[in-house]
Every structure is written in structure tokens, then in C-alpha cells.
Structure 1
Amino acid sequence: MEEPLMSAPVLFAELPAAAGKVGRITLSVESTLNSLTLEMVDLLQAQLDAWAEDDDIAAVFVEGAGEKAFCAGGDVQALYRSATETPGGPCEYAEAFFAREYRMNYTLHTYAKPLLCWGHGIVMGGGLGVMAGCSHRVVTERTRIAMPEITIALFPDVGGSWFLNHAPGKTGEFLALTGASINAADAIYIGIADRFIGSEHKQAVIDALLAQQWSASAEGNHALVRHALRPFAERSLSASPAGQVEPHAATIAQLLDGDDVHDIIDRITGQETDDPWLAKARDGLAHGSSLAALWIHRQLWETRHAGLAEVFQSEIQLATNVVRHPEFAEGVRALLIDKDRNPAWQYPCSRDVPQSVIDAFFTAPWDENPLADLA
């Protein structure tokens, strides 16, 4: 029997197993595709902290309500309101959201107990931050992942500077610059997912977790999760979709070869190709913010050797500066508010952006970084 702990945008339950318990987290706002709000971030943080100290909880299963999405991102409209209410900042809600979301992401990445994410359906933005931070990440035949922040003048945050820099070759930067969509096979290839399991096995996976004799050893419990998942992954092999990233890896390497970001942008946007995936990626960058393309490229470069805590400290600095800048509000307006899909970007071409403008995004906007205590 499940023991519900609360009814809220995030649902928590403790499932008795053969020995010990499995915590269950359900992002539960189907009407917004389970997009994260500040309230949801705070609920997640509090429960993760509580379960970390609870000896009865051996592992945690994370899912999204419904069949459409695990989590389609953050509540961007709330961030837009915060940005437009105080142009130039401080944008209190947006900045609090980013700081607390990144802290929660860091908690996921460093959690001692097994965290199993069922990444079914749409996984974007903040949802990808949750999935990527978990220790056992399952994707299904309906997983659809994208990091389309260039279309709203943001950047792949929530740890994107970490996991995209750890993707093979130049594939992470290509996905960041273009917002290209990827599937389950791609997610495993670039390292943000671990196993493909057909969605029809979900309840059987949960049942297998509840059949485990969990112990006091976190390391041993990670092995039990792998043991529980392995047969379902083997059974699902034939249903795995064909990937797009690995077959295009050589082309991506050529497009991103070189030290000049403007040349890279020109090569991607200047492609004449009949390949539908490459064409859509090209158009994503071509129609996106030139200013955002520059800060996306620089953010990945500056964090390429950074540790996890440094990554989130760097991301909160950039996110704070971005949300205070009008380019972000204009991108959200065009895509999600007025929906005219005709943003008035400040610079028609990346070469038009003064160096001093891009430098300002990488300058601390406060005396102390709100994530300075991460370690």
C-alpha cells in the first residue's frame, strides 16, 4: 500500500518493499506538462533532504503524471512576468527560482541513495535538469528531449553546462546552439540517460523495485536498482528508436571545427542540406537569438573543465544576467505570450554584438554568489 504524504503539484509516497521502502515522486501538473514552479522546486528539495536522512528510504522513483510529459521545463511565463515587472533587475521571483532550482539539481547529482528517473514523454529544460541529475535514468519509445533555449534567449542551464560538455565530441555544443530534438537512443549516446525500457514495463519495474531486499548500503542499493532494471532493458532492445546524433557526429564535428564562434554559427546556418534533422537544427539557430548563441558558446567554453559546484555557480551568474536583459523577455513574448514567432532580436548577426556586451553577461551582478556554499 502507498502512504500518501501530501496532495500538491508534486506528490510524494512511501512504498513498502520486501525490506525498506521506495520513495515515489510524481510531478503532477498535467495541464502544464508538469512544468516546474518555484513551489514545486521547494517541495522537491524538502522531500529529498528528508529522505536522505530517513534510513527506511532505500531508493527513490521519480516520474511525471500522465503520458505526455515527464516535465516540459520551468514555468517560463512566470519568469517572463518577473523579468518584465522589474526590467534590468533584480527580478526577485526569477532569480530565486533559478538559485533554488539549481540547488535542487545539485542535490540530485550528489544524492547518495539511488534516484531512478522514468523519463517518459517530453523532457525539456528544467525536466532535463531533474532527469540528468538522477543516478539511474530510464528513457522510453516516447521520450522527446530538446534544449531549445536559443529560441527564447536563454541557455541550456540546470546543469547543461556539465552534461553537454561531457557529451561525445562536439555534439553537446551543437544541441545547445540549435535546440535540436533528440530521442531515447540519442539521450543514451550523449550520456544523459542510462537505459531504454519500453513504457509498457513501467509498473513491472516498480514491482521489481518493491521486491528488492534493500539494505543500509547505498552502494549495494545502486546495484539492486541496476539488477532490477537489466531484464526490462534487455526485453526492450528491439523497440529502441534509431538515433540522430551518433549518425551525424562526423558532420557535427566538421560544422563546429575551429576557434571562431562566428564561423561556427555561419557554417551551421549556411548548410544546404536535404537531411530533415540537420535542416531543423540549422533553422533553430538561424531563427534564434544571436546574442544567446554567443553566451551559450562562451558558457560551455568557460565551464569545460569546471567541477559540478562551479558549474551551478557559473550558471546562476549567467541566468541572473540573462533574465535582467530585455532579449530574454522578447524571446518569451514572441514564442509563448503573443505567439507571433517574430522576435525583435537586438542583433541581426552574431558579429554585430560588441565584445563588451557579451562580457557583461559573465560579470557577477552581486557581491556574493547565491550558490557559493555548494561544495
Structure 2
Amino acid sequence: MAVIVAEHECAQGLLGHLTLDVPKTLNSLTLDMVDALQAALDDWRDRDDIAAILIDGAGEKAFCAGGDVQALRESSMGTPGGPCEYAETFFTREYRMNYTLHTYPKPIICWGSGIVMGGGLGILAGCSLRIVTETTRIAMPEVTIALFPDVGGSWFLNHMPGRTGLFLGITGASINAGDALYTGLANRFMSSGQYQTLIGDLTAVKWSTDAQQNGDYARSVVAALAGCADAEPPESAVATHRALIDDLCDADQILTVFDRIKAHVDSDDRWLAKAAQGLAHGSPLAALWIARQLHETRHASLAEVFQAEIQLGTNIMRHPEFAEGVRALLVDKDRQPKWQFKTPEEVPAALLDSFFQAPWEQNPLADLA
């Protein structure tokens, strides 16, 4: 099984435990894994004996490096213009699972150690207790493959301080545990060596049958361990650059924002230069739809966010830009994508508009409350 589903006996009650178990692919999500997570969450939601849930990933390298984008590419290329059955089904079920995590009535603890990207970040962000460690490396570099920060990215990026969410979304900048804490992606830091202690302490709890009480118990366990971590969170580059990020992104025209950021591609500041290079080398079309998606969902509810994401994701799968981005980065690995447009200024307004128009009569996530 690519997802290990376990139940641990505690001093009282049970701890549900979900482990993404494909370390060879850095636990990248497939449709079967999404379905397995959803099934377990649905089963445990209404069981009084399951008090809390822990989600983690097998191996030391990664919690989850994202979705299986090569499978998505094959689906996109298989039916140009769509419908792209596998890709669209994957996104629909993945976003439903993400929504389930965000709205779950019981405490869910996520051990976000190692690489956390794309779909992995969507899982982490949806959990009530989000733990990062000194090995955590987070990124949503979708601009480099002509996708967008989905899996709720339109929600959590828009809830980051200042303009930092927009900056991270359009540059794909890599961040660490300190950044995750600063931006609200994580709420607790532990050292990676505390994993077994965490499980031991969670199973030592005499859980209640009251979900709110159990939330307090889980928070107490995590807070106590975080308080005695033998490592310190790394310095947050986002916090360090916060004032500059806000200045760079403070413009009415998104093209002005792009130009300001790309002016730093040769900066002596390595983190800033790499972020600027991500935007400069990424898809100009994708940079535009990422910025517009964040703008259009800035006041949206959680359900509306996922409904907007499935619309954009479906339209992207039906367009060739994504397949080219994955080819250049992950298939041929020549890192020379032939983007449809060389600059964002060349993108026709009507084309950009088309990505934000419903491709079906009814949104497949219309039933989200």
C-alpha cells in the first residue's frame, strides 16, 4: 500500500496514523493515495474511538514532494484540449481531500519534515497542528512547470503577511521551517529526532470523546515537545526580506511587479536572486494566471477557493504549456522550456481570460459547503 493506514492504542482511545509510503518517489501523491487518504479520513470522522490523527511520510528525505506531475502530463497530452480524465479526476479528488483536512472536526497533526512541496504542502497546510523541523524545505515552484500553487495555495498564500504570498507564488522561492512559522504555514517547530517521542507522547494520552477537548490535548503534547527541541528554527528569509517584498509587490500593474522582481536576478543576495530567477525563467503565461488567481480569490471562502482552483487547474491541463514545462524540467531535463510567449507582455488578454472561464456546466466541487 502506498498509504499505510494504522490505528494505535492509547492510554484511552485510538490515534489514527496515515503514512505516505513511497520514499523512492519522495512520497509523491497518486490518485490511489489521495483516495486512500480520503477513505481513512471519512471512516475516522464519525468513529468515537478515534480521537486524533497523525499524518507523516516514509523515509527521512521527504514528507511529500507533490503530485505525480508526469502522470498529469501524460493525461494532458493524451487528449489535447480535454477533457483530460485522469488529471481532472486527480485534481477534483485531491482538492476534496484538502478541503476535508481544513474542515476536519478532530485534531490532525502533520509531521512536515524534509521536502514538502505541492500536494504535500496542501496536506500540511490543511492540518490543525503543522510541525516542521530543521530539515524542512518547502516550495511551490509551479511557475517553472506552468502550473499554479493549488491544493489550497489560493487560500494560504493570500493569508500570509503583507505581499509575501504573492511573492512566493510567482517566484516559486524555496523556504525553510523558519519561513513556514513566519508565514503561518506551520505552527510548531521540533527537531527531526523527536518523531518517535511524539508518537509515544500521543499514545500516552487519555483521550476524550469530545473533539475540542482532544484538540487541547494534542496541542499540549505538541507544545511541550516543541518547548524542549534540541534545535532552533533557521532564520526566516521571508521575514528578513519582508519590507523589500512588500515594496516590490506594491504596484497596480502586475507587469510592474514582475519587472521589479526580475531586476534582482543578479543580486548578491542569493535567496532573492534565486527567487527572481524562478520568475524570470518560469512560464510568462503561468506567472500571469498565478497572480490573477491570487487576486480573484483574495476574499473567497475556503470552498470558493477550491472551486476556483479546480476551474483553473482543469483549463491548464487542457492547454499545452504545462506539458512543455514538465518536459523541460522532469522528462528531458534540458531546462530549456519553449514557452508559448517569451514575455508576459505578449500574452493576449483574451487567452488569459479563458483560463478563468468554466469549462463545464457544473463545477465538480460545487457541493463543498
Q: What one-letter code is carried by the residue in structure 1 that aligns with 2:11?
A: A
Superposition pairs for residues 97-112 of structure 1, below 5 Å?
Answer: 97-112=90-105
Per the alignment, in what secondary structure is the counterpart of residue 235 of structure 1? coil
Deviation at 1:238, TM superposition (A): 4.7
Q: When the two structures are superposed, what TM-score results if normalisation uses the length of structure 1?
A: 0.97
The C-alpha deviation readout for 1:267-291, integer Å capped at 9, x for no partner, is: 1001252100000000000000000
Task: Report what 2:54 is aligned to.
Answer: 61
Task: Report what 2:363 is aligned to.
Answer: 369
Task: Report what 2:333 is aligned to.
Answer: 339
CA contact (8 A) 1:196 1:237 kept: no
1:359 and 2:356 equivalent?
no
The C-alpha deviation readout for 1:164-213, integer Å capped at 9, x for no partner, is: 00000000110000010000010011111010000111111111111111
1:141 and 2:134 equivalent?
yes
Q: 1:172 aligns with which of 165, 184, 197?
A: 165
Structure 1, unaligned runs of 5 or more: 1-7
The C-alpha deviation readout for 1:214-258, integer Å capped at 9, x for no partner, is: 001111101001111112111127522111100100010111011
Structure 2, unaligned runs of 5 or more: none
Q: When the two structures are superposed, what TM-score results if normalisation uses the length of structure 2?
A: 0.99
Q: 1:261 aligns with which of 254, 271, 275?
A: 254
1:193 and 2:186 equivalent?
yes
Q: What one-letter code is carried by the residue in structure 2 that aligns with 1:371?
A: L
Per the alignment, in what secondary structure is the counterpart of residue 106 of structure 2? coil
Q: Distance in 2 between matches of 1:231 and 1:173?
A: 34
Deviation at 1:343, TM superposition (A): 0.3
Superposition pairs for residues 202-217 of structure 1, below 5 Å?
Answer: 202-217=195-210
Superposition pairs for residues 291-330 of structure 1, below 5 Å?
Answer: 291-330=285-324
Task: State the superposition RMSD in angstroms.
Answer: 0.7
Q: After the TM superposition, which of the residue ranges 271-280 and 151-160 deviates more from structure 2?
A: 271-280
Q: Distance in 2 between matches of 1:94 and 1:22?
A: 33
Per the alignment, in what secondary structure is the counterpart of residue 98 of structure 1? helix
Q: 2:263 aligns with which of 256, 262, 270?
A: 270
1:116 and 2:119 equivalent?
no
Task: Report what 2:72 is aligned to.
Answer: 79
Q: Distance in 2 between matches of 1:282 and 1:174?
A: 10
Per the alignment, in what secondary structure is the counterpart of residue 108 of structure 1? helix
Q: Distance in 1 between matches of 2:181 and 2:210?
A: 27
Q: Distance in 2 between matches of 1:135 and 1:232?
A: 16
Q: What one-letter code is carried by the residue in structure 2 that aligns with 1:87?
A: P
Deviation at 1:111, TM superposition (A): 0.3
**Total equivalences in the alignment:** 368
CA contact (8 A) 2:191 2:231 kept: no
Per the alignment, in what secondary structure is the counterpart of residue 97 of structure 1? helix
Q: What one-letter code is carried by the residue in structure 1 that aligns with 2:35?
A: D
